[in-house]
Structure formats: C-alpha cells, structure tokens
Amino acid sequence: MPNAAGDGAPRPRVGVLSLQGDFAKHGAVLERLGATAVRVSLPEHLAELDALVLPGGESSTMLRLLDATGLARPLAAFVRERPVLGTCAGLILLAAEADRLPAATLGVLDVSVRRNGYGRQVHSFSDAVEFAPLGDRVSGVFIRAPRLVRVGAGVELIAHHAGEPVGVRAGRVVGLAFHPELTGDARVHRWFLEDVAGLALSRATTVAHGEAA
C-alpha cells in the first residue's frame, strides 16, 4: 500500500538517484510536496521506497557509477516493478536505445533517444511545454537535452515542445527530456506522485506559483 502524508500518517518515501547530476533540486521539490526524499547511492537505499526519480546529469558517468556502486542490477529490478520518473539523463537511462553509451540502459521505455539532441550547453533554453496530463502548459528547461527519435507503439506521448515529443509514459514509468525541477513549478512532480505512483500527499503543503497542495 502506498504511504499517505496527512493526519499523522507516514510521508511517502521517494528516492532520488544521487550519484551525479541535479539530484538535490528534485529532492527539494519532493520535500515541498510532503514526501520524504531519500538519496539513493547504494543498493540498500532502494529498500522501502514508494517511487524513484532519476535526475539529469551526465548519462555515461551515471552508468559507470551504477556499475561501480553495485546499483545497476537492483536499480534495473526496481524500475521494472515500481513507479519511476526520469528527467533528461534519467530519460536516457530508462530508454531502450541511446547512442554513445559505455553500458546498456535500463530499457524500460520503448523509445530511442539521441543524446545532446538539442545541442551543447550553450544551446540550453527554457520554454513552454504542452503537458497533456495537466491539460496545460508548464515551463521546461532544456540543458543538453536528449531528443526522442523513436517512440514505440505501447508508449504514450504526454508532452510536446514546438511539435516534437519531449515526454513519454508507459504505465508507471515516465521519461521527460526537460528539467521540471528547475522551474519553481511543482505540478509535474505532483502529477507523477499522485496520478502515476498513486501516493497521497498532504493538502497542507503550499508550493510555488500559487498551487494549493
């Protein structure tokens, strides 16, 4: 049963892969929403988690560190069974295919991605993203973002930018090419926790941009 976060009930425990990248920003958003953010850097940190976030960063470095820490196999098992959100490099790790990597990806999303598909660091940008599950636009930050070049038949397109897919979902697994954690808008994280992972969040929480928690 998922944990609840109201009236004295335990807060949901949501892991954030913390080997490299922008994991602290994700953790801050999760805490603001009423979850307990758990830094995951060793296999034992996956125990008793309700969901997991794979952050942005450098995907090839992440794969090497997964192997070095012994996390590769337990993480692969976790993402096949539990809810997971991958952003930027996290999307690359979840994909079935990605270019120029030192090891195999986790392969739980039937998509192919091109690393740095939007260009180098100097080509980073922020812009509105059409986010279908919310029926609204959200702000997206694209930093050396991967490009979705193939989307399998069983994968749902959930976000678009300038007519291109930038977000996908397959059951409990969500992958985004952009960074929602850098915008101050927690709606994407809330949607993932409540609608995808089925977790109850405290309604006493107040988040940025005037959203009532």
What is the spatial distance between Cα 119 and Cα 117, in angstroms, rounded to a whole number?
A: 6
User: Among the options 45, 130, 161, 181, which is catalytic?
Assistant: 181
Kindly state the tokens that stand for 99. 């270019």
Look up 181 and say whether it is catalytic. Answer: yes
DSSP string, 40-78: E-SGGGGTT-SEEEE--S-HHHHHHHHHHHT-HHHHHHH
Residue with tokens 């296999």: 43
Residue with tokens 């920003």: 25
Cβ neighbours of 39 (radius 10 Å): 14
User: Among the options 26, 45, 161, 179, which is catalytic?
Assistant: 179
Kindly state the tokens that stand for 186. 């927690």
| Helix intervals (H) in 33-177 | 59-69, 72-81, 89-94
Cβ pair 141, 126 in contact under 8 A? yes
Cβ neighbours of 199 (radius 10 Å): 24
User: Among the options 26, 88, 130, 161, which is catalytic?
Assistant: 88
Look up 179 and say whether it is catalytic. Answer: yes
Classify 131 as helix, strand or coil.
strand
Residue with tokens 């012994």: 70
Look up 58 and say whether it is catalytic. Answer: no
Task: Please identify every residue annotated as catalytic.
Answer: 88, 179, 181
